Structure 1
Amino acid sequence: MIPGEFTYHRPSTVAEAVAILVSHGDEARPLSGGHSLIPMMKLRMAAPEHLVDLGGISDLKGISEEGGAIRIGAMTTQNDLINSDLLEAKLPIIRETSLLIADPQIRYMGTLGGNVANGDPGNDMPGLMQCLDATYVLTGPEGAREVAARDFYEAAYFTALAPEEILTSVKIPVPPAGHGYAYEKLKRKVGDYATAAAAVVLTMSGGTVATCSIALTNVADTPLHAAEAGDILTGSSLDTDTVKRAVAAAEAITEPASDGRGPAEYRTKMAGVMLERALARAAERAAG
């Protein structure tokens, strides 16, 4: 189908983009990679009268290290994430996750900001950002504010982002050297959303888990930070009984829909399986 008529804007600064959003209110929508918004416009599920293309704002692109954290501009593409030497050295789980998103054509255009900002529960990066304890920088008419990724998602497609705000960057604390990590994703075919997925970042000390962060993807209306599961594993040797208790705690917070990817009960169990696999790989990497 063909989208409805709209006015196209291509601002060159964040301030200009915010001013357009403020001027046109609910009639305006920002555009990043376009892989969510454009299909919705074609189906007439979204009909913005003003489309604000963020692609011309150079300040929204790039990856840098600032004071023990990695800053990633919202318009940085998945392909940029995959090819970043800085991320490969400090946050390799981002590359691992990006490589599991859709296909190369989409990764060349799809952006980190677009993936995390629209509240699609099937997107991979929101859960990963919760696992990494990332912070989103949101810029609006009153300036910039920061919201933790773990507090950002309210329901499917509902987030803490105000209509006149733009997600401008993501800040991620750098995990300790030698940390273990893994993103495990079950999907029906290349390019599909996850049936279930799990992200794990952990550190080991003397054979026991010193820290453990876990998040789940596409098994609820929002990404899920599985805090209790991480707490259960912390201080353990990842013995079988403790892992089983942690997996059960993670499965207990899921509320997947029954759909073409399988019934709800199956998807919950697959979240547990993905978590077990991610824990095993993360622990192996932490051990060197």
Structure 2
Amino acid sequence: MRQGPTQAELDAPTKIVILGTGTPIPDPHRAGPSIAVIHRGESYVFDVGAGSVHNATVARYKYDIPSLYPTQIGHVFVTHMHSDHTLDLVEAAYTMWWRRPHGLAIYGPSGIAEMVDGMHRMMAPDTRIRMSGTQPVQNPDGYRANVTEIESGVVLEKDGIRIEAFAVNHGDVKPAFGYKITTSDRSIVISGDTEVSPELEKMATGVDILMHEVISDTGLARNSAGFQAYHKRSHTPASDLGRLARAAKPKLLVLYHGLYYGEPESRMVDEVKATYSGDVVLADDLDIF
């Protein structure tokens, strides 16, 4: 476990707040995968797993980051359409929507517009009741999300931050994306769910921080042959991640969204270090980098 953030980390123009490090398996200590990049006081959130919006609220008060309050989160970037990465999308868009200054901007692969349309249909009774009753509604359009279905390339560039999507290999899930975030003081790659690929290595080469999913080699070996084959086409075993990091040479490798399959969490770093000698840490919810 890391020590609390340093003052330098809190004061940095660009900082990373870990909103969730978990998996599809419910964990009382880990929300679903979600990473917030804070730049010049604005939040850019990558994936919104279950519990991540609650953790954003915790981080808002714990670290005094106003833009992590749910009504102030302006941008969400989805890596792929699996439920463990999207379950809190409705919470991000609809928490106190009537006080939102503007609707949430949502970026994601093909399918994200269909998901958001379904979300609006599901929540229609709520919006109808609030707008037809006596409750004051500051912004009747606060729940209306602005959706962009993305392809590889730059998806947002504003106020000194550049966010680029790149294709990753996540088995049957196509398309799936990772993201590279570049600011004046930081370069960050968020892998999303993926196996190792040349494109990922290229995007991650020389970055300040590589945030990467991981699966325990030892834990994976306990699975059936079918599950082992599935995971190897969809995720990154620790030893493969070590080899990727050795080639890409990030200044810091941060592990998140880890599948352990019964192995102690602390062993994951050791498994990566078997093939990588650089700096590597295992992220916990609410860590700051």
> One fold, TM greater than 0.5?
no
TM-score normalized with structure 1 length: 0.30
TM-score normalized with structure 2 length: 0.30
State the structure with bigger RCO (CA 8 A, min sep 6), 1 or 2. Answer: 2
Q: Per residue, is there more helix in 1 or in 2? A: 1
